[in-house]
Amino acid sequence: MIAYEKLPLDNEVKAVLEGLEIEYVFQPIFYKDCVRIYAYEALMRPKKMTVGQLIDEFARDEKLHILEVATFFGATQAYIERGYQEYLCINSFPSESFTENEAEAFDTYFGNQKGKRIIEILEYPKVSLREWVRKSEMVQNKHWKVSLDDFGMGENNMNAVYLYTPDIVKLDRSLICGIDNDARKQENVRTYLESFHERGMQVLAEGVETREECDFLRSLGVDLFQGYYLAMPA
């Protein structure tokens, strides 16, 4: 469990986070060969509720910023303790950015980790262009990559691609499940691959659970892979 009292955060923030008893597990993201690891995605595991319940509670109390800061500091600390060297992928709300003091504290505490993060933009309908511009400036200043989560579901569609201009587009599990036997899904993914590759974006298939799905997606030219078939979160 992350010892938030040791991190350079506001005392109110630390008090809230300590009470949640949050841990992090990591799921690998693989290169196309499905052997070499490209990144590890940090997955929050609160002990007292589900992640969905946690997000809903913080959103209801208008405290998503606290959760955003907790994720960045906590996931990075857990990643360092694991001794990983690959990219760290952190789930992030597009509407939330560090304050100047938080950014300074993060750089001071984790300065040797600059340039090793992927910010994974969660599906979130309430972001404004102004909020995203602010967030984008922070990401660019730190030389981090941007990944769009759950493409093909809800708000994370082509409009989100145009807004966020991500480095990586993560195809939702609904597009991946059974794709080796589904002509419609095959055509959709081919179209997305062509469009995103033309824009210089990498495509990540999440939720790969069978060898058949994996082999077919590799034959299509998908760049990155994640799923229980390859590795469980741990």
Task: Round to whole Å and give the CA distance between 202 and 145.
Answer: 11
For residue 116, how many other CB atoms are within 10 A of its CB?
A: 19
If you write DSSP's letter for every residue of 64-118 in order, what string do you get? HHHHHHHHHHHHHHHHHHHT--SEEEEEE-TT----HHHHHHHHHHSGGGTT-EE
Alpha-helix runs per DSSP H in 142-208: 158-164, 173-176, 183-198
Domains by residue range for the chain, with CATH: 4-225 (3.20.20.450)
Specify the pLDDT at position 124: 66
First-to-last CA distance in the chain? 14
What are the pLDDT tens digits along the chain (234 aa)? Answer: 666 677 777 787 777 777 777 899 999 999 999 999 999 999 999 888 898 898 898 889 888 888 898 899 889 989 999 999 999 999 999 888 888 888 888 888 887 666 689 999 887 666 777 888 888 888 887 788 999 998 987 666 888 888 889 999 999 999 999 999 999 999 999 999 999 999 999 999 999 999 999 999 999 999 999 999 999 999
* pTM of the full structure: 0.91
Beta carbons of 128 and 99 less than 8 angstroms apart: no
